Structure 1
Amino acid sequence: MKTVLITGATSGIGAALLAKYHQQGFYVIACGRNREKLAGYLKLYKNIRVLAFDVTRDTEIQDAAKEVAQLDILILNAGDCAYIDQVKRFDGERFASIINTNLISQGFLLQYLLPKLSRGGQLVFISSSATLVPFPRAEAYGASKAGVDYLANSLRIDLAPENIAVTLVHPGFIKTPLTDKNTFAMPFMQSSEQAARQIFTAVSKRKQYLHFPWRLTLILKLLALLPDRLWQKLITRKGAS
């Protein structure tokens, strides 16, 4: 039985991935901060282990990693989103918090969990399609996910000798507790379950890159080809309307 570890498994895409991998017969190690939700998983699922820790605290990651023997798949999904609402009063603490949660934590997760990944295993990063083009107010979130992109793509090169596949995932708008807080239009939104199915399939095929929904990501990729000034005018006009 193969073992998969999923961070951020108590809500959104992480919870849906847990259900999908359990359904497919994997031994799942579900990680998160919500101890009550994790305890509920033990009653709901068989062949599951839960680890409660905060990804922003390296000592907690280190302690949790001691409970892990060997992994076939490591899915780094935990993350947060917050916006810079008043750019002239740039919130450095908010920026640092998002960078720490979404990017710096990845380094410590890799430090303690990557050695557990078996030769021929798989490493999965859940990033965001927000990295395809710059968006207003997304300085913190976008920067953190752009860092995740580079990290994943660089690791793919260095882990090739170990035959460890690295999959980078660019989801669009997925209905989760994070997107529930958004007040702007979110076209082509998908459910967490839809996202989990697509991620599971891509990882099963050891794909390097997955983006969805294709209609949104195609539009973003085309917009990225526009001159910066034109894209800036378009997005500013849309934001003001």
Structure 2
Amino acid sequence: MTVKTVISSKTILITGATSGIGLALFNHYSTQGYYKVIACGRDAKKLALLSNRAYKTCLFDLNDADDIKQQLADIDDIDIVILNAGDCRYIDDAKHFDGQLFSDIISTNLSSLGWLLQYTLPKIKKGGQLVFVSSSATILPFPRSEAYGASKAGMDYLANSLRLDLLKENIDVTLVHPGFVKTPLTDKNDFTMPFLITSDEAAKRIISGVEKRKKYLHFPKRLTLLLKFFSLLPSSLWQAIIAKRDKT
């Protein structure tokens, strides 16, 4: 862990800060002088590149509870925690279900949140914020997304439930549903991603929503509102649309 002395008003902790949306969030917050940014990631080389601009860097694997505990041990008060880190892999053959892949994604995207919350929530100040970066994939079921979708749906429930229990602690919870965002993860996708936006644009929208203390963010709306509309249709109709798409 590296530490940099900065005089500032707010401390922000970001997981998955070395790439994609997390890196874009780090870049925006760290250039604003008003924030002390704690950058968390599992890639030592990439994290080292952020050390000059970060208040602290924390190196840990999401699936290593002891690692998380050790790296976050000497962090005191936090104003905003942004739980952004995660992985995306697909079930390519549902009939021959890949249980190990499913378990890995659930562990990385969902189970790890329990340890992160255990070691960050007690440090969030009264009036602080907790931000979950989920996915618009939870609005509607998609083919091959059994593992990723299930993990993010679990995150949604966790965020919405915590919002109720944290009212008495005066801690706001924001749930974020991004659409397709260009990141190293989505670069691996082999299908069309409509209304794709940059990580920088996604970060700006998240920062704006956090500043307004919104409970729920979804973007770009031309995609998410379309998905919400489709979710109101009879499931048989949506399945027919998906089946037709898979044949093209």
TM-score scaled by length of structure 1: 0.98
Distance (Å, rounded) in 2 between the aligned partners of 1:200 and 1:130:
21
Aligned to 2:39: 30
Q: After TM superposition, give the deviation of residue 163 of structure 1 in Å.
A: 1.0
1:235 to 223, 242, 248: 242
Unaligned runs of 5+ in 1: none
Q: Which amino acid aligns with 1:4?
A: I
1:8 to 11, 16, 32: 16
Aligned to 1:163: 170
Distance (Å, rounded) in 1 between the aligned partners of 2:247 and 2:65:
41
Aligned to 1:39: 48
Structure 1 residues 77-96: Cα deviation after superposition (integer angstroms, max 9, x where no partner): 00000000011110000000
Aligned to 2:218: 211
Higher helix share: 1
Aligned to 1:95: 102
Structure 1 residues 66-118: Cα deviation after superposition (integer angstroms, max 9, x where no partner): 02111000000000000000111100000000000000000110011111111
Q: After TM superposition, give the deviation of residue 23 of structure 1 in Å.
A: 2.0
Distance (Å, rounded) in 2 between the aligned partners of 1:135 and 1:145:
13
The alignment-based identity, stated in percent, is: 60
SS of alignment partner, residue 102 of structure 1? helix
Say whether residues 1:63 and 2:70 are aligned partners.
Answer: yes
SS of alignment partner, residue 41 of structure 1? coil
- Summarize the alignment of residues 119-158 of structure 1 with structure 2, pairs less than 5 Å apart: 119-158=126-165
Aligned-residue RMSD, C-alpha: 0.8
SS of alignment partner, residue 89 of structure 1? coil
Q: Which amino acid aligns with 2:50?
A: Y
Equivalenced residue count is 239
Q: After TM superposition, give the deviation of residue 38 of structure 1 in Å.
A: 1.0
Q: Which amino acid aligns with 2:47?
A: L
Q: After TM superposition, give the deviation of residue 161 of structure 1 in Å.
A: 0.8
Q: Report runs of 4+ in structure 1 exceeding 4 Å deviation.
A: none
Q: After TM superposition, give the deviation of residue 170 of structure 1 in Å.
A: 0.1
Unaligned runs of 5+ in 2: 1-8
TM-score scaled by length of structure 2: 0.95
Distance (Å, rounded) in 2 between the aligned partners of 1:103 and 1:172:
19
Say whether residues 1:182 and 2:195 are aligned partners.
Answer: no
